[in-house]
Structure 1
Amino acid sequence: MRQPTLFEGTKRLVYDEAIDLTLQSLQAYGPAHDHWAIAWSGGKDSTALLTLIIHLIEVGRIAAPKTLTIFYADTRQELLPLAIAAQRITAQLAARGIAVEIVMAPLDKRFLVYILGRGVPPPNNNTLRWCTRQIKIDPMADALEARLSALDGNVLMLTGVRQGESAIRDQRIVMSCGKDGAECGQGWYQQVLPNAKGIRGRIATLAPLLHWRVCNIWDWLRVFAPMREYGGWSTALIADVYGGDEAEERNARTGCTGCPLTDKDLALDNLIAMPDWAYLAPLKGLKPLYRELRLPRNRIRKTGLEFRKDGTPAANPQRMGPLTFEARLMGLDRVLVIQGQVNEAARSLGRPEIDLLNAEEEARIRELIAAQTWPHGWDGDEPTADTPLDTVFRDGSIQPLLV
């Protein structure tokens, strides 16, 4: 029996309109740019975008650009099935003659090296959300800048942004959907990549899947993309991270393994509930570790009134700061124990091992600690943050410690 296709025949898919809008956006804006790039995180939306774009080019539905560059954002913190799927898809792209540029933060700015080596506390959603910018956005901007320097003309950056993926992001989409002459419904098109250093004015962004629903994403990843006629992509594994057979219903979002910014590890919980991935359960110890590292007893604190360069008082003269060396070593030991527990189980079961910290990263952490490295503005002679102190206010007044 002939399989239904995405583009022709009587057995049309229920999301024909979404496919048509995707094609319209690519046909409208793609030819205006000689060079395309795809920002790929390894998650469901960007993987659907990547594999669909390659398929559309291969079957002649859209014209291939002069150059196509794929940037894979390797944060070193991805959940294991996503990392495995990314490796397999990268190999499939290589077999097609399509190179993938691995984008990774410099060694000293990688997530665990930055925390355990330099002593910067784990991120939070309030005052210190440094992780997304540092391990994903900045490395991607640097890679784009380097790529643009080797090209003439502008680049069209394709992203997997969708409505409904994030309430905050949706508000930005609503405000920006019609920017730069894009018709509402043709995808979120902007002629400037916001907040991108060194590349402003030379890059446009387009979100061809803007109007796709999550059911469309899963139909593509689990049914169509793995079919030979649609590319035979290794995308089915991604569903495990989002809830296995119930991925569409659960619609869990993913972040880093043990992400400190979320209340619950829904993706990890979904994963370890499956027999094949249950051996990853020790990874549940990462989130409590990150919370523990943020406690006052594991950090140092400023003792009094500080001034900015312009002479005005600092907003928080007795703010908590970086991790003590003891806390860093404790954290390093705990991460290595968790990694060891998972990999010991993996070897006994014949399952894939994890790589939270590789030898280079562990050595660099120990080197930074041995060199008594502190973040900028800290000397290390400050007291631990649980030490009782007189209260210093911004106006310079002091409330003595009550004893």
Structure 2
Amino acid sequence: MKTSQSNLFEGISRRLQMTESFELSWQSLNAYGPRYNYWCVAWSGGKDSTTLVTFIIWSIMSGKIKAPKKIFILYADTRLELTPLFYAAQKIMEELAEHGYNVEVVMAPMENRFLCYILGRGVPPPNNATFRWCTSRIKIEPMEVKLKGLVGELGEKVLMLTGVRQGESAIRDQRIIMSCSKNGAECGQGWYQETLPESLCDTLAPILHWRVCHVWEWLKHWAPLPEYGDFSTELIADAYGGDEAEELNARTGCMGCPLTDKDTALDNLLKKTKWEYLAPLKRLRPIYRELRKPQNRLRKTGLEVNNEKNKQRMGPITMAARDWAFNGILAIQNEINAVADKIGMPTVYLLNNEEQIFIRKCWSENLWPNKWTGEEPTGDTPMDTVYADGSVQPLLFGK
């Protein structure tokens, strides 16, 4: 009788199969879930968090894990998601409601929304070097406020479930490795971070060990089946490259994200014929770049009475530049929606009516960031150099 020879490295090198990934997720949820009466799921609409949401709900429905007293699904709406992701999220919300699970939409207050903050208050678009304010303003802070209110009402800590996975980000992976190695914890069992008793939540990442191919297999082939929840998850693939989404292994971000050198996700999306009408979105990043130029921003003279080291720092966007960008963004929106209405595709609202009214109100009230009046010169105005110690070097050739 033929016998198979064991491989010395099999336990190390063998990759998890789909059903094994399921099993490990159930083990972590069944191990830590019962310690909490309430669970929260942080849902961004991307591939990993959508996998998490739909997998957990199906696991509860199929009896694989025991449901808590209540599960709160919190959808982070940044107002900047790629159209297929936003459209898919709306469909999945409806399907979750049919299963008896309502989704709470978490959104930044009007004054902190991305375009309102830029065009209304005049704060320059974020950049990676010195001024990356967007993620905290439009995603982290609103979710924290929501969580604080929720925990305050419940009177106890909740278990926050996240879609963090190994391999998504090298920086994030390092944090995962450090956390998982604590007390000999195993990454495959899910990332469990127990926080201080007075904090809002403890965190568990049930799909930490899932390979990216398992995520796509779930979204494209399993979750859409009636026996696995009948979710519209296959729509998400378009935002990551369509049929080639898994091979591209792309990441998505905000529409026209000013923090990246290329609109990779949008470029992949526009290769699909049905989404070609979104091509005007490519004009967003040039608008953001233009707003950061000196001629479109104010600048301190350096002669003001203050203790700032950077005496002549660049500051907010001029009113004229805000108006120019506002009209340019509305033109993009109108151009897209005119075609969308003709071909029966989802419309895009970069600035809805409420946000437009808010921005115009900011202008009428002459709103500027703190410590700015609007009377400062523009950044391209020639002026004497003022150093941190207050000394002045006059212009070589005069003003």
User: Into which bin does the TM-score normalised by the smaller protein fall?
Assistant: over 0.9
**Which residue in the other structure is 1:274 paired with?**
272
Task: Give the structure 2 partner of residue 365 of structure 1.
Answer: 359
User: In 2 relative to 1, CA 383–71 (structure 1 residues): closer, same or farther, beyond 3 Å?
Assistant: same
Aligned: 1:253 with 2:251: yes
Q: Is the 8 A contact 1:70 1:101 kept in 2?
A: yes
Whether 1:69 aligns to 2:63 is no
Partner of 1:264: 262
Pairing 1:45–2:48 present: yes
Alpha-carbon displacement from aligned partner over 1:208-263 (angstroms, at most 9, x marks no partner) = 11111111110000010001110010100000000000000111111111111111
8 A contact 1:179–1:190 mirrored in 2: no
On the 8 A contact 1:307/1:314 being kept in 2, the answer is: no
| From 169, 172, 175, the counterpart of 2:172 | 169
Counterpart-to-counterpart distance in 2, 1:159 and 1:375: 34
Deviations 1:115-161 (A, max 9, x none): 00100001111111111000000000011111111113220000001
How far 1:315 moved relative to its partner? 3.0
Match of 1:337 in 2: 331
* AA matched with 1:300: L
Q: Secondary structure at the match of 1:236?
A: helix
**Does residue 304 in structure 1 map to residue 333 in structure 2?**
no
| Contact 1:37–1:68 (8 Å) recurs in 2 | yes
1:190-229, aligned counterparts within 5 Å? Answer: 190-192=193-195, 201-229=199-227
2:306 corresponds to 1:316: no
Deviation at 1:305, TM superposition (A): 5.7
- Output the amino acid matched with 2:231: W
Structure 1 residue ranges without an equivalent (≥5): 1-12, 194-198
CA 362–372 in structure 1, closer or farther in 2 if over 3 Å, else same: same
Aligned position for 2:13: none
Compare 345-354 and 73-82 and name the one that shifted more. Answer: 345-354
How do 1:1-400 residues align onto structure 2 when only pairs under 5 Å count? Answer: 14-179=17-182, 182-192=185-195, 201-304=199-302, 313-400=307-394
Equivalent-residue separation in structure 2 for 1:285 and 1:180 (angstroms): 50
Per the TM alignment, residue 181 of structure 1 is displaced from its structure 2 partner at its CA by 7.4
Matched letter for residue 230 of structure 1: Y
Asked if 2 retains the 8 angstrom alpha-carbon contact of 1:271 and 1:277, the reply is: yes
Asked whether the equivalents of residues 22 and 187 of structure 1 are also in contact (C-alpha less than 8 Å), the reply is: yes
TM-score (norm. length: structure 2): 0.93
Structure 2 residue aligned with 1:8? none
SS of residue matched to 1:150: helix
> How far apart, CA to CA, are the structure 2 residues paired with 1:98 and 1:179?
34
Deviation at 1:180, TM superposition (A): 7.3
Q: Mean Cα displacement is larger for which, 154-163 or 387-396?
A: 387-396
Q: Residues 305 and 393 of structure 1 are in contact (CA less than 8 Å); yes or no, is this contact kept in structure 2?
A: no
> 1:267 and 1:394 mapped to 2: Cα distance?
43
Letter in 1 for 2:162: T
In the superposition, the TM-score normalised over structure 1's length comes to 0.92
Maintained 8 Å contact 1:305/1:394? no
**Distance in 2, Cα, partners of 1:112 & 1:276:** 27
Q: 1:297·1:386 contact (CA, 8 Å) conserved in 2?
A: yes
Question: Relative to 1, partners in 2 of residues 1:358 and 1:17: Cα closer, same or farther, differing over 3 Å?
Answer: same
> Deviation per CA, 1:45-99, whole angstroms, max 9, x where unpaired?
0000000000100001100001100000001111111111110111111112211
8 Å contact kept, 2:126–2:259: yes
Q: Structure 2: how far apart are the matches of 1:306 and 1:114? A: 25
Percent of aligned positions with the same letter in both sequences? 60
Single out whichever of 117-126 and 313-322 deviates more from structure 2: 313-322
CA RMSD of aligned residues (A): 1.6
Deviating 4+ runs (over 4 angstroms): 179-182, 305-308
Q: Aligned equivalents of 2:233 and 2:304: distance in 1?
A: 53
Q: Which runs of 5+ in 2 are unaligned?
A: 1-15
Q: Is the 8 A contact 1:178 1:188 kept in 2?
A: no
What residue number does 1:6 align with? none
Structure 1 residues 200, 379: CA separation in 2 closer, same or farther (over 3 Å shift)? farther
Distance of 1:306 and 1:234 partners within structure 2:
57
1:19 shift after superposition: 2.0
- Count of paired positions: 382
Instruction: Tell me which moved more, 105-114 or 299-308.
Output: 299-308
